[in-house]
Amino acid sequence: MNQPFVDTSPRVSDEIRKTTCYMCACRCGINVHMKDGKVAYIEGNRDHPVNRGVLCAKGSAGIMQVNAPSRLQAPLRRVGPRGSGEFEEISWDEALDIATGWMEPLRRKDPSKLAFFTGRDQSQSFTGFWAQNFGTVNYAAHGGFCSVNMATAGIYTMGGAFWEFGQPDWDYTKLFMLFGVAEDHDSNPIKMGLGKIKARGARVIGVNPIRTGYNAIADDWIGITPGTDGLFVLSLIHCLISAGRVDLDYLARYSNAPVLLEDGTGMFLRDEAGKPLVRDRKTGKITAFDTPGILPDLAARHEGHRTVFQHMADMYLDPAYAPEAVSETCGIPAERIRAVAEELARVAFDEAFEIEKKWTDFRGETHQRMIGRPVSFHAMRGISAHSNGFQTCRAIHVLQILLGTVEVPGGFRFKPPYPKSSEAHPRPHFNSRPDSPLDGPHLGFVHGPEQLALTPEGTPARIDKAFTWENPMSAHGLMHMVIANAHAGDPYRIDTLFLYMANMAWNSSMNTAETIRMLTDKDENGEYVIPRIIYSDAYSSEMVAYADLILPDTTYLERHDCISLLDRPICEADAVADAIRWPVIEPDREVRGFQTVLIQLANRMKLPGFTNEDGSPKYRDYADYIVNHERKPGIGPLAGFRGNGDQAGRGPINPEQLDRYIENGGFFVSHVPDGAQYYKPWNMAYQNWAVEMGILDAPQPYLFQLYVEPMRRFQRAAEGHGELQPPEHLRDRLRRTMSPLPDWYPPFGDENVDPAEYPVHALTQRPMAMYHSWGSQNAWLRQIHGMNPLYVPQKLWETHGFQEGDWARLTSAHGTIVVPVALHCGLNENTVWTWNAIGKRKGAWALSPDAPEARQGFLLNHLISELQPPKGDGLRWSNSDPITGQAAWFDLRVRIEKVDPRDEAEPALAPLVSPVGTGPQNIAWKVGK
């Protein structure tokens, strides 16, 4: 039969340039198809370790990001009042002169007067290095208002966490449990993994008040009451310990469950070398935990001292954690809690399996096989963004450890450079002196009151109050508190606020309207309370209007970037990997990559780490830094193709390193050796390989910390012990929240308001098709999410008589919004929610004034304050987790009422005047002939 020819694979390009996507934080490999030097099409790179060719809507729509009408065109200097949008274009020389003129005097006199905070950039190792050499103590990235609870709780507990730190063992997992996971983070790898496990019949349990995305395909969805996940998990632990369904051998060998606690103090018993003590079951002797050949005893007693495990049993066998006791609070029937516990135990123990693979542990014992427990977990921001999020995250990690499912076949597996115990991470540094670099990294992990960032007078050293008694373990800083604290002069005044890629005048701040007021507020002399603001962004976001100097960034296809092991890695459990971005196209505007701009500023100010002994610059631009910078001898930003191109991890500088990455598809990968893939914290084959790769300086095996002793140190200080003690008004809170074993307390949002007046929980999630605010101005992605209604559960829908097309007033203790509503039956019956960052302010992002994002899109941010409601004591209480300072976005409680339909959502702020104007009605261009 004569059929017409159809070319199913037409040639779409004359060249393919391989680089790394930046449309979300997955950092997938992409093939950028070029025609006549322009981007024609973007697809996934099948060779890349992260996505293996899979690409989501965001990644494909990158072509619209590169061509967005909202792109800034040149450096800008404000010439009108802040917020007016009145700017003039200036040259880069003038812009750098202005920035240097503002910052260099601060460095000479008081570097802490510069507050440098970056948003969702992926070069924090570099930006932190810049800030350290400037000398300011005031630096952090966005983790404090994202998922610091998840990361910090994981590292203190087991040396790593979910997301960038580890992944389920997709090859063997039979039961996968998700907590508080939306669809934006790690989306392609999780989608690929879910497809793999469901294809072979594995079950998925989703714990989330909202059933969308991954939870929509879960076999079992648990629509929990927001903020009660920790109580639910502790009830599961209660059931497992009660039934004796925990991995006792695993706990004895690899956790601090057998470590003896000193009676009365709750501190570890230690030997003269400072090592925690256990009792050996073989000999009955008290000895250091890492003594070769021992088998620690979980039931040991010594002179009245008992083990961590015995204290855990005392705590979690309390009837207060029984399913019947927690059911009403969590919104989950008691029988369902017991059923989940039973299923976890059945799969972990009754479906256990073995892999014949020899390995040697840190005590010198050689094991002939690896025991698989096919249960894995994943959790993210829905858990983190509560004021009890740290302890909830700890509880999830402890649950995994009790089941023996971490770093075993079928369980949760770390990705290099993790695992790393909290002891292997730096401490925070805060010794800021004139004309000098800071004495070490800004961020880190504290282990006691003596490491807090306090001045000799006991006041906070940092503008965000990180690492203070208010939030001692704030490993990522508190970016959401910077503007409010700077405006209040609490703990002190700053001179210059320097922000990158952080839309703090809109969706990245709590209390949006008040934040705008603080940015524009003037003192009694008519001067701005925050004297100078420098901002860098690629697009005309809402924040642009409130800056004094704009340093325009490139898009991600126009610059060099480094996805580094020193930063936010992209490794897999079986391989170490890193990647680059490189300019696959050249900018057609007067813009520069922000990292290169920082180097140019460093060169003008002759910052120490950027200047040779003869006064000449060390680095020409960011690409030069990526290749030639060494954090330690032989260890630089990129691990691959070092030396002559044949060395990995450690090795001399290779001038052709970037070329080798480009030739290899933009990435480097090196696999974990056979026999080292599992039991990484204790497997000496892995530990030795990690030293060879430059991940560790020496083998550092450690125990999982079910009981976190540093937390007990802070708790004891609150009880009145030690030279350093907290202020009186914080003692009770520290005693209550700093439990060294995971505990649960109600979110502060529940305690700070009357639940009868504000009976409904309100949440946001990020949509799968967008990642933060820059995605919702994308011409393709806007067609998927052009507006965001408030989703209402059926019970509330019927109670208030809502119909399709109706609007509602949502009121919190802080503010009011009026928004369109829609019915969503897959919801906790007392929870409403919406998509995050869809709503836009008129005039921003080059969108037309009648764009649906500006008329019917909205933010819940207007209902959330960065401070808790006043307590009558005259103090400013941060709306944060009291342990880490994590922004408590999801503690929000509201009341809802039906109102007449509106033309647009309220509050409707006055339109902004954008330096790029409004984009055209249609965007069209032809690539090639």
Neighbours of 289 (CB within 10 A): 21
Angle, alpha carbons 791-792-797 (nearest 5°): 145
Is residue 355's pLDDT more than 90?
yes
Type of residue found at 244: G
Within the chain, all domains assigned CATH 3.40.228.10 are found at 159-417
User: Which letter, b or e, does each residue of 530-549 get, where b requires 16 or more Cβ atoms within 10 Å of its Cβ?
Assistant: bbbbbbbbbbbbbbbbbbbb
| CATH C-level class of 76-148+426-552 | alpha beta
* Helices 124-134/594-605 angle, 10° precision: 20
Is residue 387's pLDDT more than 80?
yes
Q: 901: pLDDT confidence band, cut at 50, 70 and 90?
A: very high
Q: 771: pLDDT confidence band, cut at 50, 70 and 90?
A: confident
Region 772-782 average pLDDT = 83
Within the chain, all domains assigned CATH 3.30.200.210 are found at 1-55
**Which tokens is 340 given?**
């989940």
Backbone angles phi, psi at 45, to 5 degrees: -90, 115
Region 804-814 average pLDDT = 97
Q: Tens digits of per-residue pLDDT, 370-385?
A: 999 999 999 998 999 9
Q: Is 350 exposed, middle or buried (CB count within 10 Å of its CB: 0-12, 13-18, 19+)?
A: exposed
| CATH C-level class of 159-417 | alpha beta
Which range among 137-146, 172-181, 370-379, 586-595 shows the weakest confidence by mean pLDDT? 137-146
Which residues contact residue 500 at a Cβ distance below 8 angstroms, ignoring those fewer than 6 apart? Answer: 117, 118, 119, 121, 127, 535, 536, 537, 553, 594
DSSP three-state, residue 207? strand
Per CATH, the architecture of 748-899 is what?
Answer: Beta Barrel (2.40)
- For tokens 């708790």, name the residue: 715
The C-alpha atoms of residue 274 and residue 268 are separated, in whole angstroms, by: 9
CA nearest neighbour of 578 among 698, 417, 421: 417
User: Which letter, b or e, does each residue of 674-696 get, where b requires 16 or more Cβ atoms within 10 Å of its Cβ?
Assistant: ebbbbbbbbbbbbbebbbebbbb
pTM: 0.97
- For residue 529, the model assigns a pLDDT of 98
What would the DSSP string read from start to end of 307-337? EHHHHHHHHHTSGGGSHHHHHHHHT--HHHH
The secondary structure element, H or E, covering residue 96 is helix 92-109
- For residue 929, the model assigns a pLDDT of 62
Q: Is the CB of residue 917 less than 8 Å from the CB of residue 868?
A: no
User: Strand 807-811 relative to strand 816-823: parallel, antiparallel, unpaired?
Assistant: antiparallel
> Quick one: CA torsion of 691, 697, 699, 701, rounded to 10 degrees?
-120
Q: Is the CB of residue 866 less than 8 Å from the CB of residue 510?
A: yes
**Which tokens is 926 given?**
């032809």
Q: Is the CB of residue 379 less than 8 Å from the CB of residue 180?
A: yes
Q: Is the CB of residue 814 less than 8 Å from the CB of residue 772?
A: no
What would the DSSP string read from start to end of 384-440? HSSTTHHHHHHHHHHHHHHTT-BSSTTSEEEPTT----GGGSPPP-----TTS--SS
Q: Is the CB of residue 792 less than 8 Å from the CB of residue 823?
A: yes
- For residue 184, the model assigns a pLDDT of 67
Type of residue found at 648: A
Which residues contact residue 745 at a Cβ distance below 8 angstroms, ignoring those fewer than 6 apart? Answer: 388, 391, 736, 737
Within the chain, all domains assigned CATH 2.40.40.20 are found at 748-899
- For residue 1, the model assigns a pLDDT of 58
Angle, alpha carbons 695-24-375 (nearest 5°): 60
Within the chain, all domains assigned CATH 3.40.50.740 are found at 76-148+426-552
Q: Tens digits of per-residue pLDDT, 408-446?
A: 999 999 999 999 999 999 999 999 999 999 999 999 999
CA nearest neighbour of 77 among 534, 453, 422: 534
| Intra-chain end-to-end CA distance of the chain, in Å | 34
- For residue 769, the model assigns a pLDDT of 86
Angle, alpha carbons 190-196-199 (nearest 5°): 135
- Per-chain mean pLDDT for the chain: 95
Is residue 448's pLDDT more than 70?
yes
CATH number belonging to domain 1-55: 3.30.200.210
Q: Tens digits of per-residue pLDDT, 4-52?
A: 888 877 777 899 999 999 998 889 999 999 998 999 999 999 999 999 9
Q: 928: pLDDT confidence band, cut at 50, 70 and 90?
A: low
**Which tokens is 263 given?**
């009676």
Q: Tens digits of per-residue pLDDT, 824-834?
A: 999 999 999 99
Region 641-654 average pLDDT = 97
Is residue 474's pLDDT more than 70?
yes
- For residue 8, the model assigns a pLDDT of 79
Q: Tens digits of per-residue pLDDT, 844-899?
A: 999 998 999 999 999 999 999 999 988 888 888 999 999 999 999 999 999 999 99
Cα dist from 182 to 76, 134, 187, 215, 835, whole Å: 37, 38, 9, 8, 10
Q: Tens digits of per-residue pLDDT, 232-250?
A: 999 999 999 999 999 999 9
The C-alpha atoms of residue 700 and residue 706 are separated, in whole angstroms, by: 18
